[in-house]
């Protein structure tokens, strides 16, 4: 009983981390553009993240639960994977780096799989890794196209009385959509390992969604500032284009049950929009720091979970 309670606490901790780190991915561009205050933005993120987790969080949850390590893991193994993954995301959030919580949990679960000698679906891991490479490129291209089409459409509407309200409305809608997609995709990162034991996805989705929302509300400001203005300055149309591109990609891969990085998606989209304003508008040093975090996170989480589980196994047995 104590082990199960500890497992759920560990899952909630990872969910809290996801909300804290990914709040900026959902509304960083909205806050950075000056349209919404941070307080109003995080309320929207919290509500739509819970909604996405409840309605469409089950697909990724299944992948994390039994798609990487196909055999059932012990409670100790699952707690170790969750805590190791959460630790690296906590550190990244503290240093204002938008890392991939998906990469952290996949790395942690894979590390546990190797440590326990469990049956693993290496082909599935390869597919996930390939999607991680493709996703930011895809969102960058999507953002480029959406921005170009949006500017074309808005120029035609410039003469109408509602023109000034349209960009802001679109930005708020895209913020809600990317928050929904984040909940649908990332709740599986927090609750997927628990689903390995056969628990129902519906109430796991609710628990994970609430944990995400608490993370957004309590510790989401730091990464929000990085995404909102640390990479490139965004106007309203640019911010809408970046958020909509990221939301479309994340939602698509959520339906396929593939855990993708909200951080990679939105950063790729922001870069795609930034290039339209000229490569000098993009802060390449900040991008370099983010990319290093993307590479280090799954590697470190995997190695740490592997080593810690081996040590704990020796100590407990």
Confidence of residue 33 (pLDDT cuts 50, 70, 90): low
Assess whether pLDDT exceeds 60 at residue 58.
Answer: yes
Q: Which two tokens stand for residue 110?
A: 């894979």
pLDDT the model gives residue 248: 94
DSSP state of 71: S
pLDDT, greater one: 70 or 22: 70
Please give the C-alpha separations between residue 102 and each of 63, 202, 311, in angstroms, as whole numbers: 11, 20, 25
pLDDT-wise least confident of 54-58, 202-206, 231-235: 231-235
Nearest-10 crossing angle of helices 2-32, 166-195: 160
DSSP state of 120: B
3-state secondary structure at position 95? coil
Confidence of residue 24 (pLDDT cuts 50, 70, 90): low
Nearest Cα residue to 185 out of 113, 106, 242, 295: 106
Average confidence score pLDDT of the chain = 79
Please give the C-alpha separations between residue 77 and each of 70, 105, 115, 204, 277, in angstroms, as whole numbers: 14, 13, 9, 19, 48
Cα separation, 312 vs 112, whole angstroms? 12
* pTM for the model: 0.82
Counting residues of the chain whose pLDDT is more than 90, the rounded percentage is 7
Confidence of residue 148 (pLDDT cuts 50, 70, 90): confident
Give the tens place of pLDDT for each residue, 151-190: 888 777 665 555 567 777 888 888 889 889 988 888 888 8
pLDDT, greater one: 149 or 238: 149
Q: Which two tokens stand for residue 19?
A: 């909300």
pLDDT, greater one: 288 or 8: 8
Q: Mean pLDDT: which of 97-111, 179-193, 218-232 is highest?
A: 179-193
Nearest-Å Rg of the Cα atoms of the chain is 19
pLDDT the model gives residue 1: 67
Assess whether pLDDT exceeds 70 at residue 270.
Answer: yes
Residue 18's contacts (CB-CB under 8 Å, 6 or more residues apart) are 89, 101, 186, 187, 189, 190, 211, 212, 215
Cα separation, 306 vs 111, whole angstroms? 5
Domain region containing 287: 2-316
Size of the chain, expressed as the number of residues it contains: 317
Question: How many separate domains does the chain show?
Answer: 1
Assess whether pLDDT exceeds 80 at residue 21.
Answer: no
Nearest Cα residue to 202 out of 301, 57, 75: 57
Counting residues of the chain whose pLDDT is more than 70, the rounded percentage is 79
């Amino acid at each position: 009983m104590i082990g199960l309670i500890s497992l759920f606490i560990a899952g909630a901790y990872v969910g809290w981390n996801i909300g804290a780190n990914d709040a900026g991915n959902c509304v960083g561009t909205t806050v950075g553009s000056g349209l919404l205050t941070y307080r109003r933005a995080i309320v929207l993120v919290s509500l739509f993240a819970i909604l996405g987790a409840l309605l469409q969080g089950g697909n990724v949850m299944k992948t994390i639960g039994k798609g990487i390590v196909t055999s059932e893991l012990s409670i100790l193994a699952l707690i170790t994977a969750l805590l190791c993954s959460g630790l690296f995301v906590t550190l990244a959030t503290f240093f204002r780096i938008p890392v991939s919580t998906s990469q952290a949990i996949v790395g942690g679960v894979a590390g546990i799989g190797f440590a326990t000698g469990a049956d693993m679906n290496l082909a599935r891991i390869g597919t996930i890794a390939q999607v991680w490479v493709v996703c930011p490129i895809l969102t960058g291209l999507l953002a480029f196209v959406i921005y170009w089409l949006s500017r074309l459409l808005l120029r035609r509407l410039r003469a109408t009385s509602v023109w000034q309200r349209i960009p802001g409305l679109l930005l708020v809608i895209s913020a809600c959509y990317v928050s929904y997609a984040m909940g649908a995709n990332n709740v599986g990162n927090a609750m997927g390992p628990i689903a390995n034991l056969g628990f129902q996805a519906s109430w796991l989705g609710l628990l994970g969604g609430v944990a995400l929302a608490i993370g957004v509300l309590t510790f989401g400001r730091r990464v929000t500032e990085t995404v909102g203005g640390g990479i490139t300055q965004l106007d309203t149309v640019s911010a809408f284009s970046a958020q909509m591109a990221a939301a479309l990609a994340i939602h698509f891969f959520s339906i396929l049950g593939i855990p993708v990085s909200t951080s990679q998606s939105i950063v790729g989209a922001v870069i795609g929009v930034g290039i339209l304003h000229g490569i000098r508008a993009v802060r390449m040093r900040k991008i370099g720091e983010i990319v290093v975090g993307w590479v280090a996170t799954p590697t470190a989480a995997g190695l740490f979970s592997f080593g810690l589980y081996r040590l704990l196994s020796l100590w407990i047995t």
